[in-house]
Structure 1
Amino acid sequence: MSFLKLSYVLIIALATTFPLTSYAKLDKNEQQIVTQVAQHLPQALKEIEQAVNINSGSLNLAGVKKVGQLATAQLTAIGFKVEWLDGSAFNRAGHVLATRESNNPNAIKILMIGHLDTVFAENDNFNTYTQLSPTLASGPGVADMKGGNTIIITALKSLHELNLLNNVSIKVLLTGDEESSGQPLNLSKQAIVDAAIWADVALGYENADNNIETAMVARRGYIDWTLTVEAQAAHSSQIFSDTVGFGAIYEVSRILNSFREQLASQPNLTFNPGLIVGGTHADFDNAHSTATAFGKSNVIAQKVYVAGDLRALSPTQEEDAKKTMQRIVSHNLNGSKATLEFADGYPAMAMTEGNQKLLAMYSKASEDLGYNKVVAANPRNAGAADISFAANHVDMALDGLGLMGAGAHTQNETADLTSLSKNIEKSALLIYRLGQL
């Protein structure tokens, strides 16, 4: 089926999902926004397909740059000044930063956040956009988050063509390392922090929990941790003796189970040991998440490594959990010694009054369009995201405004195309209304 014919079929299919409404709650400009978005829908679909068909796994630097070039052309065409922020200092491709400043010195400043990279490596066999039906598409990053980038650009394009961007100043930041952060983290995320310090409002276009009836007013932060346990190697017949002790594997078992017993009941706190290796000899390559070990059933294990993550909803919750974990680690079984190290990670995006106010505005835009009410998503239902680096620097932040779908980070990733026009319209209305404050 040709692209034009497929686009026509899609528009007809989407039309059946639109509300039967006269848009009586929309002013004249807002009604024009809806019309403008509909006109741009075929091009938006084409732009998603173009971006998805370029592999941009985080470590495919050339691919990430190529997706950035597509976005640069699209944003330049609607009056944005676009910069490529080179990422060599943090071992990634870099970021796209596009700016359009209002002549009104009192204009509200809005930061819109997306990302160029995906989790799919250059040699992955899941590498093309496929139209599964008029309302469903699959492909690497189709929802997470090349569809979200297209929602950002198409909403701004619609407002630009109606001359409705004059009362807002906009920065669009499309990062090149959201799925695999460059190191050091303070360099790879500096562009987000700088843009957020400039902004009043931050909008994130991840697909979050893939529920069009929710948006994220809070996100959990996360940090990685590494647990190392050492003990005395000896013949297995000597285990539990006063001279040899309990060995590394019993000690690590005690520690992990104590984590579970003392912390697992805390709301919104999780800590996951994702890799464990141990034996007489054990080696853990943190950079590549690989490990090797040698051991025998009749030899007491001498060394164990565990790699995991910790996710919390506030800095206080994170610090309290870290203290509890360190206390557990310090009370070692006889004959063993353990150390626990925490790495830098993503901060939490705390729920604030400003975030809730922004959600209310977004929900009203949805309802005024004849769509559903939008409520706060459960933070447990989504991972960390770049907006967390911005949230503490703005008055209001909201995430999860992207293209809905399913199966993100797997070869079953799909996008629900019925959400495309709806979320473009809602974003465009939200930006327009923010400009009226």
Structure 2
Amino acid sequence: MLALALLLLAAPAADPAPQLSAAEMRMAATVDREYERSVALLQRLVDQNSGTTNLPGVAKVGEMMAAELRDLGFTVTWKPLPQTERAGHLIAVHAGRPGTRRLLLIGHLDTVFEADSPFQRFVRKSEEASGPGAGDDKGGMVVMLAALRAMRDAGTLDRTNIEIVLTGDEEDSGEPVALARADLIAAGKRADVALDFEGLAVEDGRDMGSIARRSANDWTLTVTGKSGHSSRIFSPAFGDGAINEAARILAAFRTELPEPDLTFNTGVLAGGATAAIDPSGAKASAQGKSNIIPAQAIASGDFRTLSEEQTRRVRGKMEAIVARHLPGTDARIAFKPGYPAMAPTAGNRALLDRLNAVNRDLGLAEMPPLDPLKRGAGDISWVAADVDGLVGLGTASRGDHTPDEVVDLSTIRRQGKRAAILMSRLGVERR
């Protein structure tokens, strides 16, 4: 027992925590003992490219994760989704003790780095490593497996009801979204707790707890005006032209929309005699001349909110601003919902309290709630309306979504311990 206690924490901590049970001490020791195995698995996952549109690559990462989960006693299903032009999702189920809480674990197989990216390989430097998806989210999946292996070795996995959904298109969801997220939403309705293994947020050297994620909603503004010789612009007969009117509407967004927890952005803008944005939303084209009043303008962007009520309110304000278009012009705004919001509910706060109880017993510092403006949208939001949840159980990293992505390998240890003990405690409670 003393040997296990001495192995308990890799990070600096207080004396061996007296509140840990023998099984929990064994879990902590297993995470430490298997650390290099976890790092080796992370390297194999990272070295397999799984950019969202590299469908074979995503499937191969799914196969690697499936093998690990089958070894832990999970029933694994690969759900292909050719209808959405994405690889599919991995779904794994472990049946535990009847009548106890059902845990949903969420992660994703894909990365933002496609097969033609020059950023392809895992490179370790002591307790850090760079590589595509090393933190987001392959590091998170490794933490998940480290925790589950520790639970198996301590005998707590057998009694725990767990469903795992690893999506293959978190970074760029397939369409239609209703089909792309149907399995995850259904799993959320079955679950009592959702735990998202995306990255751990760290501020000023302090681990943070995440109980909320904001939504992501796209919009497209289309403005038309009367074309003619530029000498007639601003006259009653011709009005302001499409570009000036689009600029006026966007300026009104800036002055009238701001409120707490909201951000909004114009990402692409074009105007002229003709103007268009391609179906991908990434490229715009326009034609015109300096002496012609522009007949068309188009802009697209997004806005992010902390609740679905806020989404509805902001959308209504944007529609009202656009409806006030000036004479001689017409304006329309269309919305494309993306990720819903995960509001900071009382249930989510209670789960963070449970995690902080684990931290106290491990001798780790309390994790304050993270400002949701500092997290992007994510898959747990699709189940947030049905089940309480926590975000950020994966590894800490920096430079995510860039060729400078670097994962803090040491966080596999403390995150694996936190997750294993939290899941073991939640998993024995009655529904």
| TM alignment of 1:25-174, pairs within 5 A | 25-102=19-96, 104-131=97-124, 133-174=125-166
Alignment match of 2:422 (pick from 426, 430, 433): 430
Matches within 5 A, 1:3-402: 17-102=11-96, 104-131=97-124, 133-207=125-199, 209-211=201-203, 213-264=207-258, 266-287=259-280, 289-394=282-387, 396-402=388-394
CA RMSD in angstroms comes to: 1.4
- Residue 410 of structure 1 corresponds to 402
Shift, 1:301, TM fit? 1.4
CA offset at residue 246 of structure 1? 0.2
Q: Offset at 1:20?
A: 4.2
How many angstroms does 1:16 deviate by?
6.5
Does structure 2 retain, via aligned residues, the 8 Å contact 1:208–1:382? no
Paired with 1:91 and 1:366, the residues of 2 have a C-alpha distance of 42
Aligned partner of residue 114 in structure 1, secondary structure: strand
Post-superposition CA distance 1:149-195 (Å, at most 9, x none): 11111101110122212332001111000000000000000111111
Indicate if the aligned counterparts of 2:103 and 2:427 stay in contact, CA closer than 8 A: no
Distance apart, 1:356 and its partner CA: 0.7
In the alignment, is the contact (CA less than 8 A) between 1:185 and 1:344 conserved in 2?
no
Instruction: Tell me if structure 2 keeps the 8 A contact 1:110–1:202.
Output: yes
Contact 2:226–2:239 under 8 Å retained in 1: yes
Q: 1:127 to 1:113 in 2, by over 3 A?
A: same
Distance between the aligned counterparts of 1:16 and 1:37, measured in 2?
10
CA distance in 1, matches of 2:82, 2:32: 40
Q: Is this contact kept in 1: 2:277–2:298, CA < 8 A?
A: yes
Shift of 1:81: 0.4
- Long gaps (5+) in structure 1: 1-13
Change over 3 Å in CA distance of 1:288–1:275 after alignment to 2:
closer
Structure 1 counterpart of 2:34, one-letter code? H
Report the secondary structure of 2:107's partner residue.
strand
- Distance in 1, matches of 2:144 and 2:229, equals 63
Question: For structure 2, which runs of at least 5 residues remain unmatched after alignment?
Answer: 1-7
Deviation at 1:315, TM superposition (A): 1.1
Residues 114 and 174 in structure 1, CA contact (< 8 A), matched pair in contact too: yes
Shift of residue 374, structure 1, vs aligned partner: 0.9
Residue type at the aligned position of 2:306: L
Distance 1:307 1:206 in 2: 28
**C-alpha displacement at 1:370, in angstroms?**
1.4
2-structure distance, mates of 1:256, 1:83: 47
TM-score, scaled to structure 1: 0.94
Residue 15 (structure 1) shift: 7.2
Partner Cα separation in structure 1 for residue 324 and residue 112 of structure 2: 39
Partner SS for 1:25? coil
Question: TM-score, normalization: structure 2?
Answer: 0.95
Are residues 15 and 115 of structure 1, via their aligned partners in 2, closer, same or farther at CA, if it must alter by over 3 Å? Answer: same
Post-superposition offset of 1:208: 5.8
Structure 2 equivalent of residue 6 of structure 1: none
Instruction: Give a deviation string over 1:332-388, Cα, whole Å, max 9, x none.
Output: 112111100001221111111111110011112122111121121111001000000
Distance 1:153 1:136 in 2: 19
Secondary structure of 1:298's counterpart equals coil
Cα separation, partners in 2 of 1:15 and 1:140, compared to 1, 3 Å: same
| Offset of residue 98 of structure 1 | 0.5
Query: Which whole-Å CA distance do the structure 2 matches of 1:18 and 1:36 have between them?
Result: 18
Find the aligned partners of 1:139 and 1:390 in 2 and give their Cα distance. Answer: 29
Report the equivalent of 2:4.
Answer: none
Distance 1:111 1:197, change over 3 A: same
Alpha carbons of 1:288 and 1:348: their partners in 2 closer, same or farther (altered >3 Å)?
closer
CA contact (8 A) 1:219 1:348 kept: yes
Q: CA deviation at 1:107?
A: 1.6
Q: SS where residue 67 of structure 2 aligns? A: helix
Count of aligned positions:
420
